[in-house]
Amino acid sequence: MSRTPATARLMDGSGLARRLVDETAARAADLTRRTGTQPCLATVLVGEDPASVTYVKMKRARCEKAGIRSRHLELPATTTTAELVAVLADLSGDPDVHGILLQHPVGPGIDERAAFEAIAPEKDVDGVTFSSFATMGFGLPGFVSCTPGGIMRLLDAYDVDPAGKRAVVVGRSAILGKPAGLMLLARNATVTYCHSYTADLSAAVREADILVAAVGRPRFIKGEDIKPGAVVIDAGYNPGNVGDVDFDTAATRASLITPVPGGVGPMTIAVLLSQTVDAAERQLA
């Protein structure tokens, strides 16, 4: 039996991210020229977790390429919550810093929430504070979590209007699934949240006009559950460059689908950079 060919159009996150970064770099250059001040992102790393070290390094390199200054702080793994809060409060009050990124997870022994809440909302370019969560929830202006923000930009770039559509979000993490659902709701989708307790995941997925997979389990979403014509956003990124959706089968049914890699992934840093320049523009205005 021959394999059914993919019919879905690929959503090119790499290309969209590149355009967003270019646009962001142009805004950063313009702002620097007009004000004499370069936008600055403070990156805070606690401990020496290899993945975190790599992520921060990557983010800083991307900042530099986009004309955004980064100020890097490395704190030992023995840092207390109070010490970390003090560092973040300092950065929040520092007029030379426009955005703050606390690389997380921060490791055991630190109250991550207390640390996040020490970030001033107007510098929360990573969208991790209560305030940012609430503005996402109410559809008010504010910074968004970067990955869901990237997902919404992908939908917009491919003219997918969520209004009135059934959107199903699989996963409910604080920085991905939960805000993604709220942002889709703010854009008038009928939103369903699924997760590990969901009794019949296949039934729920089959309803989705827009599916956001954000569970972090390789090929967890079966391709045959994809509704014909659905838009499939795969925010998973598992070992071996495998997403949360069984891509090969899903691509024979969906109308639009994000590849892994090259779909949602590249959007995250692009949104971080863009929001950093947004923050700088407001603070330097």
Interface with its own copies (CB under 8 A): 113, 130-131, 133-135, 137-138, 140, 163-166, 172, 174, 178, 182, 185, 188-195, 197-199, 204
CB of 233 to its own copies, least distance (A): 18
Instruction: Find all residues with CB under 8 Å of 19, minimum gap 6, and list them.
Output: none
Tell me which of 12, 103, 165, 227 is the catalytic residue. 103
CA–CA dist 78, 108 (Å, integer): 10
Tell me which of 59, 165, 178, 227 is the catalytic residue. 59
Instruction: Determine whether 65 is an active site residue.
Output: no
CB of 17 to its own copies, least distance (A): 28
Per the annotation, does 172 bind a ligand?
yes
CB of 146 to its own copies, least distance (A): 17
CA–CA dist 273, 260 (Å, integer): 21
CB of 69 to its own copies, least distance (A): 30
Per the annotation, does 166 bind a ligand?
no
**Between 1 and 163, CB nearer to its own copies:** 163
**Between 118 and 204, CB nearer to its own copies:** 204
Token representation of residue 106: 């921060």
Tell me which of 12, 124, 126, 246 is the catalytic residue. 126
DSSP-derived letter for residue 77 is T
CA–CA dist 204, 198 (Å, integer): 9
Instruction: Determine whether 103 is an active site residue.
Output: yes
**Between 69 and 172, CB nearer to its own copies:** 172
**Between 187 and 253, CB nearer to its own copies:** 187
DSSP-derived letter for residue 154 is H
Token representation of residue 22: 């270019």
CA proximity to 186, closest of 154, 163, 156, 158: 163
CB of 186 to its own copies, least distance (A): 9
Per the annotation, does 236 bind a ligand?
no
**Between 74 and 138, CB nearer to its own copies:** 138
State the virtual CA torsion across 184, 102, 173, 23 in degrees, nearest 10.
30
Instruction: Determine whether 275 is an active site residue.
Output: no
39, 98 Cβ separation under 8 angstroms? yes
Please, what is the angle between helix 146-157 and helix 265-284, to 10°? 100
Instruction: Find all residues with CB under 8 Å of 53, minimum gap 6, and list them.
Output: 45
Token representation of residue 274: 């863009």
CA–CA dist 25, 17 (Å, integer): 12
Query: Known catalytic residues?
Result: 59, 103, 126
Point out the annotated binding site. Answer: 171-173
What are the binding residues for NADP(+)? 171-173
